[in-house]
Structure 1
Amino acid sequence: MRAEVAVRETAELGEGPTWDPAAERLIWVDILGSRVHTFEPGSGRRTVLATEQHVGAAKPRAGGGLVVNLRDGVGCYSADGAFSWLHREPVPGRRGNDAAVAPDGALWAGSMAYDERHGGGNLIRLAPDGTATEILDDVTVSNGTGWSPDGTLMYYVDTATSRIDVFDVDGEHISNRQELATVEKGAGLPDGLTVDADGCVWVALWDGGALRRYTPSGALDRVIPLPVRRPTACAFGGPDLRDLYVSTARVGLTRPTPLAGSLLVLPDAGQGLAQPVFG
């Protein structure tokens, strides 16, 4: 399995690839560049949306438009590009980071401190009507979040712990936190993740230059080297959800490789799950 270039780009901190089934496009962000990118594999068409703040994640909304996890909270872009805040809660020194849409259409949005201090971030659940509930506090770098195919388990990464954790899920409530897997020292740090149709968890390894796939029991069954040092997240896309897209970063690298910051793709990597849209 070999990675190919989907979009050659120089994103500082590319993150959060997400397949938008209605528009048949891939959405991802450059957090520090304050940009939301889209790419249509069928036509090659690309768009770039500049946001007024650092943007940790962008996800499709029911009826069109985007929900975005920004520095000061979560906002929405309508289909015609108009912006409005859905949940604004600015905290000095903190920004939004990765986010994911749950099976019930709510957005689970994470945050982190710019200086990555311990406990500087959190994870909230944001209902489509704007009701916010804090799910986890004392988070350092809130990152990958995903659900099992039957929706009864939630997988979660706080990158500073080097772990992928798994929770039992009952609607908006999570419980029984357990360690699914730990990335050993020297192999990189777990970042964004996605769950495939077999219930396996794919995770990008920041500073590890690879993707890993873990089975639902936590066994490591696949390692895919990548031509970049800092992959950040992955998601299945394409009409059949069989192509695995990988966002990458170049921030902090004194000698980034030529593809650092680009969007990569692994064709026919597996079978992804259809992802819900916000709302």
Structure 2
Amino acid sequence: MSYEVAVRAEATLGEGPTWDPATGRLLWIDILGSRIHSYDPSSGRRTSRTTHQHVGAVKPRAQGGLVLNLRDGVGLLDPDDSFRWLHHEPVPDRRGNDAAVAPDGSLWAGTMRYDEAPGGGTLTRITGAGEVVPVLDDVAVSNGTGWSPDGRLLYYIDSPTRRVDVLDHHEDGTVSHRRPLAGIEAGAGFPDGLTVDADGCVWVALWDGGAVRRYTPAGELDREIVLPTPRVTACAFGGADLTDLYITTARVGLAAPHPVAGSLLVVPGAGQGLPQPAFAG
């Protein structure tokens, strides 16, 4: 499989690609650049806007607008571009990181300390009504989060562990029985963002690994897309038929960044993605 450059950019820390079917756009962010980007593959149109603090994730809302996982909590952008906090919880030296929307429309928002200290991060479930439910409270870098096609399994990454974990996900939103699905060997980078396809396979971006890997539900590696820049951060399926794999990358910390570092990449026809729910709030 070969990649194309969907949007040539120099994002410091490009992250969080998300397909918005209501608008036909691919949303993505630059965390440290405090920017939200959008890309319309049918027209090539690009937009960008600045947030008032570092933004770890952006997702569409069912009633229009966006939900943002920010440095100091989770906020809402309404369709008229007005902003309000849904969950405001500033913690010194901590910021929001990756986030995902569960099948029931709740937002699972991760955090991490800027120094990536063990135990400094969390994973929290936030309902559309604003109820805040802690899920995990002893992680370092809360990253990739996604669900199996039937919603019964949660896949989760705490990057320094070098593992993709799987948990049982119950109808009431609780999880149990955390166990490893796959480990990333030394020298292959660290697991970062993930997405789940229609076959139930888990696609994992490898930070400092320059690749995206696909693991079966049994944890077996069956595919790898090698990329020319090492800091690959996240991936998601998009396009009208959800068959194109969009991949975000970063430039931060690279002494001599590759020309595509910080760009949004795409692998056309990589697989079949799953429709992603919008946040219920």
Q: Considering the TM-score relative to the shorter chain, is it more than 0.5?
A: yes
Gaps of 5+ in 2: none
Q: Helix, strand or coil for the counterpart of 1:6?
A: strand
Q: Which residue is equivalent to 2:279?
A: 278
Q: How does 1:76-115 map to 2 (within 5 A)?
A: 76-115=76-115
Q: Which residue is equivalent to 2:39?
A: 39
Matched, 1:175 2:176: yes
For 1:45 and 1:227, the matched residues in 2 are separated by: 25
* CA displacement at 1:16 relative to structure 2: 0.4
Q: Which residue is equivalent to 2:22?
A: 22
Q: Which residue is equivalent to 2:150?
A: 150
For 2:32 and 2:39, the matched residues in 1 are separated by: 19
For 2:118 and 2:247, the matched residues in 1 are separated by: 27
Q: Helix, strand or coil for the counterpart of 1:33?
A: coil
**Number of residue pairs matched by the alignment:** 279
* CA displacement at 1:130 relative to structure 2: 1.0
Matched, 1:161 2:161: yes
* CA displacement at 1:129 relative to structure 2: 1.1
* CA displacement at 1:158 relative to structure 2: 0.2
Q: Helix, strand or coil for the counterpart of 1:186?
A: coil
For 2:80 and 2:6, the matched residues in 1 are separated by: 27
* CA displacement at 1:228 relative to structure 2: 1.1
Q: Helix, strand or coil for the counterpart of 1:28?
A: strand
Q: How does 1:1-279 map to 2 (within 5 A)?
A: 1-171=1-171, 172-279=173-280
CA offsets, 1:108-133, max 9 Å, x none?
Answer: 00000000111110000000111111
For 1:121 and 1:189, the matched residues in 2 are separated by: 17
For 1:32 and 1:224, the matched residues in 2 are separated by: 26
* CA displacement at 1:159 relative to structure 2: 0.1
Root mean square deviation, CA, Å: 0.5
Q: Helix, strand or coil for the counterpart of 2:160?
A: helix
Gaps of 5+ in 1: none
* CA displacement at 1:46 relative to structure 2: 1.0
* Amino acid paired to 1:270: G
Runs of 4+ in structure 1 deviating by more than 4 angstroms, as ranges, are none
Instruction: Please report the TM-score for the alignment, with normalisation by the length of structure 1.
Output: 0.99
CA offsets, 1:219-249, max 9 Å, x none?
Answer: 0001110121111000000000000000000
For 2:176 and 2:234, the matched residues in 1 are separated by: 25
For 2:49 and 2:68, the matched residues in 1 are separated by: 11
Instruction: Please report the TM-score for the alignment, with normalisation by the length of structure 2.
Output: 0.99
* CA displacement at 1:44 relative to structure 2: 0.8
* Amino acid paired to 1:119: G
* CA displacement at 1:175 relative to structure 2: 0.2
For 1:214 and 1:126, the matched residues in 2 are separated by: 28
* Amino acid paired to 1:49: R
* CA displacement at 1:272 relative to structure 2: 0.2
* Amino acid paired to 2:35: R
Q: Helix, strand or coil for the counterpart of 1:160?
A: helix
